[in-house]
Amino acid sequence: MIATILKRRETMLALAILALIALVQTRFAGFARPGNLAAIFNDSAVLIILALGQMAVILTRCIDLSVAATLAFTGMVAALVNAAAPGLPIGAVLLIAVGLGTAMGAVNGLLVWRFALPPIVVTLGTMTMYRGAIFLLSGGEWVNSHQMSEAFKALPRSLVLDLPVLSWMAILVIALFVLMIGRTTLGRAFYAVGGNEHAAIYAGISVGGTRFVAFTLNGALAGLCGYLWVSRYAVAYTEVAQGFELDVIAACVIGGISIAGGIGTVGGAVLGALFLGVIKNALPVAGVSPFWQMAISGIAILLAVAFNARSEQRKGRIILKSAEQAHAAPAPATGASA
């Protein structure tokens, strides 16, 4: 049983994270302090939330390249609303951001579902469209810290049991995904659609409808992160989260979410995001150039994709081998000799 646990992708990734932390700790005392590790988790909170939303989409054999653009647009809207009406309750601003993100995700889902368009083409188009909309909405201007209300900026930083609300939101989303993926028919539908689309149809599952829900859910989480991002950093501008969709996809791939769909776990997505979070915090401490940080992240993605592909091939060979053995087995005797 222990050998089986050690072979699991999540266990290997967790051990890799611990080894990386221990390695950095040997050179920079204090890196492994609980307070610093909590700060790394907080820095990774937005990536964790977005990776879980992207996981739902990838499980259905789709991909969403517009997630960072959705975050940026909803964040800009939230910042502009707060600047125009600073007395508006933060709950209302948050609701606007999440509702807008949900609608933007639904647009992606409808285009994929009703028009049968390739998800990568759809989301590449909406990514460009949403980025352009940010510029039109803001006129290319920034919303700075002094234009935001104190309540707007305070929520993600507020401490509850010594953890910022931003971290608690990530923990809440993780818990909800554990329940949804493991305990609901929707979670099983995500796996069914990505694992075998034709079998899912025969089982009475709406393939297009399931993908629509996945895109919509991803958009809602991106809307939530839009507010969290601009309020935490106290600035909103046209290039917010530029290229962050690559980090989100990387977290999923590193965590063992198969691009081919139907394979992946909540724990894997979370650990993939944490792995990138530790790298992004460790490399600057070690004095590594930001350009090398990007290169190392890219290498990690390539290695993860190669590992996933080999794992899936091994599973396929085992199935074929079992089938061959079943055909090669001698037929049982069907009658008594006279």
Instruction: Indicate if the pLDDT at residue 331 is higher than 80.
Output: no
| pLDDT at res. 335 | 47
Q: How many domains does the chain have?
A: 1
Q: Which domain holds residue 204?
A: 8-315
Mean pLDDT of the chain: 87
Give the residue from 266, 278, 281 showing the smallest Cα distance to 16. 278
The answer to whether position 330 is within a domain reads no
CB of 91 closer than 8 Å to CB of 221: no
The answer to whether position 337 is within a domain reads no
Residue 261 — left, alpha, or beta (φ > 0 → left; ψ -120 to 50 → alpha)?
A: left
- Which has the minimum average pLDDT: 8-22, 217-231, 295-309? 295-309
The answer to whether position 250 is within a domain reads yes
- Which has the minimum average pLDDT: 9-23, 130-144, 185-199? 9-23
Q: Which residues contact 36 (CB under 8 A, 6 or more apart)?
A: 30
The answer to whether position 2 is within a domain reads no
Residue with the two structure tokens 């221990």: 22
The per-residue pLDDT for range 67-109, each reduced to its tens digit, is 999 999 999 999 999 999 999 999 999 999 999 999 999 999 9
The answer to whether position 255 is within a domain reads yes
Radius of gyration for the chain, computed over Cα atoms and rounded to the nearest angstrom: 23
The per-residue pLDDT for range 250-261, each reduced to its tens digit, is 999 999 898 888
| pLDDT at res. 337 | 42
CB of 241 closer than 8 Å to CB of 72: yes
| pLDDT at res. 318 | 38
State mean pLDDT over 124-128.
96
Instruction: Provide the 3-class DSSP secondary structure of residue 139.
Output: coil
pLDDT band at residue 121, thresholds of 50, 70 and 90?
A: very high
Distance between CA atoms of 304 and 252, rounded to whole angstroms?
10
The answer to whether position 325 is within a domain reads no
The per-residue pLDDT for range 42-74, each reduced to its tens digit, is 999 999 999 999 999 999 999 999 999 999 999
| pLDDT at res. 311 | 66
Phi, psi (degrees; rounded to nearest 5) at 311: -65, -45
pLDDT band at residue 317, thresholds of 50, 70 and 90?
A: very low
CATH number of the domain residue 31 falls in: 1.10.3470
Instruction: Indicate if the pLDDT at residue 323 is higher than 60.
Output: no
pTM for the whole structure: 0.88
The answer to whether position 328 is within a domain reads no
Phi, psi (degrees; rounded to nearest 5) at 267: -60, -40
The answer to whether position 80 is within a domain reads yes
